[in-house]
């Protein structure tokens, strides 16, 4: 996410930091470089102009120019101005005065609308809401099957399913069903097209007038850059949007859409899609995203992901085992599986302050295959071997390698990593490592 832009901004700030005191000329040169970086990231020209004007006005004050750490002051100003551009504060979903509240999802085909409907439903379900999904995209029959399948996997009921029925009729029936089942939220996947046209907008306007949604959310593909902004402008002209959801943010190395869309349309971003998994939907926090763009990480999001992924009681038991050196390969496997729930290693590294630069060096495919390999190796062991890895010698290693489809060197590497982890845990228990490291290992 924002890999290219983050690298360029980091280089600019590093150059400023090496200068000591800054002159007006130094600041103007840095702003010129930032301007080029933003334009190359496909950020809207009006956004760039407004952003740089705000940064320059604040950067040329005596407080910055006479500061002993002017580069740090500039970074602080850039961070705050980025937050202003992105929308200043978190925008929550708007609930209706009485249940059920209705979220109508609109957008073009290919933007990830159907998948996002399921992601949003899961997000609301996890907050204690009772959901009903509505398959009203009859123009793309595969969308109905897709939503039905996703709903089943999430144990969330789906209304609709007949492509021959008019979307308006499907929605009427769905709202009746929602009342009967006591649903608190109804999420409607509406029809999309390959481009914005009058017929589509007329359908959406009629549907909105009939069902009175409290939320009309436009789903836009972040990877389309300025096209995403143009699409949002078009939809805003015809349908009163209450919010935006940016999908495929994990594949957006530039960041043009995310940085431009709120400023140019005035419509707040409410969620971002950060991966293919149905759980990969994050509430949009402008301050957290600004920190990620500047390579400063996002510790709050990292903690929130950990709290969702880890079973608290199991984590406490695991920490106790690690402190008493009873940590075994079954525990190690459990820990890896919990980490997988939090996202890819690349995504996790991006959230850790100071480590975002390493994200580009982690091959996504290699990471996944390595995790699968470790899992296969441990599952090919007997319960006795998992609980007591010390007995895994020559013949056992060859048998495990054959059973897991790996080589004996892979078994050696895994065991060495495991023993290293055991050693770190023992040192932490003896107070020879920082206490916060034990929290990382135990959780």
In order of 89, 247, 387, the CA distances from 98 in angstroms are: 26, 29, 55
DSSP state of 93: P
pLDDT on residue 33:
94
Cα–Cα distance measured from residue 282 to residue 402, given in angstroms and rounded to the nearest whole number:
41
| CATH superfamily, domain at 101-294 | P-loop containing nucleotide triphosphate hydrolases (3.40.50.300)
What's the pLDDT score for residue 435? 42
Write out the chain's pLDDT in tens, 443 residues: 677 888 888 888 888 888 777 888 988 999 999 999 999 988 899 999 999 999 999 888 877 777 767 888 888 899 899 999 998 888 999 999 999 999 999 999 888 999 999 999 999 999 999 999 999 998 887 899 999 999 999 999 999 878 888 999 999 999 999 999 999 999 999 988 878 888 888 889 999 999 999 999 999 998 888 888 889 999 998 888 999 999 988 776 577 888 889 999 999 999 999 888 898 898 998 988 888 788 775 555 655 666 666 665 666 665 666 566 667 888 778 777 776 766 665 666 565 555 455 455 555 555 667 778 888 999 999 999 998 898 999 899 999 999 999 999 999 988 887 887 777 666 655 655 444 433 433 33
- Whole-number Å distance between alpha carbons of 94 and 88: 18
**How much is the pLDDT for 442?**
38
CATH code of 302-442, in short, is 1.10.260.30
The torsion of the CA quartet 162, 168, 174, 178, rounded to 10 degrees, works out to 170
> Is CATH 1.20.120.140 correct for 3-86?
yes
pLDDT at 88: 84
Give me the residue spans of the domains in the chain. 3-86, 101-294, 302-442
DSSP string, 181-205: HT-SEEEEE----SS--HHHHHHHH
Interacting residues of 156 by C-beta distance below 8 A, sequence separation 6+:
118, 121, 122, 125, 131, 132, 133
Q: Which helix (H) or strand (E) element contains residue 107? A: strand 101-107
């Amino acid at each position: 996410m924002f890999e290219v832009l983050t690298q360029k901004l980091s280089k600019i700030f590093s150059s400023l930091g090496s200068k000591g005191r800054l002159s007006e000329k130094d600041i103007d040169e840095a702003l010129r470089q930032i301007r080029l970086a933003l334009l190359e990231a496909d950020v809207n020209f009006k956004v760039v102009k407004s952003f740089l004007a705000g940064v320059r006005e604040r950067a040329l004050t005596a407080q910055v120019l006479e500061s002993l750490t002017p580069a740090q002051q500039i970074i602080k100003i850039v961070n705050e101005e980025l937050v202003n551009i992105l929308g200043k504060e978190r925008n929550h979903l708007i609930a209706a005065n009485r249940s059920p509240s209705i979220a109508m999802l609109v957008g073009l085909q290919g933007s990830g609308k159907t998948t996002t409907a399921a992601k949003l439903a899961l997000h609301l379900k996890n907050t204690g809401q009772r959901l009903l999904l509505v398959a009203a995209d009859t123009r793309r029959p595969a969308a109905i099957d897709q939503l039905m399948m996703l709903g089943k996997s999430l144990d969330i009921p789906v209304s609709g399913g007949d492509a021959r029925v008019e979307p308006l009729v499907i929605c009427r029936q769905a709202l009746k069903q929602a009342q009967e089942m006591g649903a608190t939220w109804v999420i409607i996947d509406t029809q999309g097209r390959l481009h914005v046209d009058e017929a589509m907008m007329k359908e959406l306007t009629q549907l909105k007038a009939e069902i009175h949604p409290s939320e009309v959310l436009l789903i836009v593909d972040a990877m389309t850059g300025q096209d995403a902004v143009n699409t949002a402008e078009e939809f805003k002209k015809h349908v009163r949007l209450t919010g935006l959801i940016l999908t495929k943010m994990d594949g957006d190395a530039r960041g043009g859409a995310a940085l431009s869309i709120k400023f140019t349309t005035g419509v707040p971003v409410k969620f971002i899609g950060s991966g293919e998994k149905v759980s990969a939907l994050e509430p949009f926090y402008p301050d957290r995203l600004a920190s990620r763009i500047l390579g400063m990480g996002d510790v709050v999001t990292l903690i929130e992901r950990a709290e969702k992924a880890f079973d608290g009681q199991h984590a406490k038991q695991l920490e106790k085992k690690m402190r008493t050196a009873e940590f075994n390969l079954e525990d190690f496997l459990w820990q890896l599986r919990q980490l997988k729930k939090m996202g890819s290693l690349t995504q996790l590294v991006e959230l850790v302050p100071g480590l975002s630069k390493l994200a580009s060096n982690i091959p996504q495919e290699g990471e996944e295959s390595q995790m699968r390999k470790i899992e296969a190796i441990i599952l090919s062991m007997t319960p006795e071997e998992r609980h007591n890895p010390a007995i895994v010698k020559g013949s056992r290693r060859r048998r495990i390698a054959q059973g897991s489809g790996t080589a004996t060197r892979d078994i050696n590497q895994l065991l060495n990593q495991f023993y290293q982890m055991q050693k770190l845990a023992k040192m932490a228990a003896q107070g020879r490592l920082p206490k916060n490291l034990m929290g990382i290992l135990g959780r």
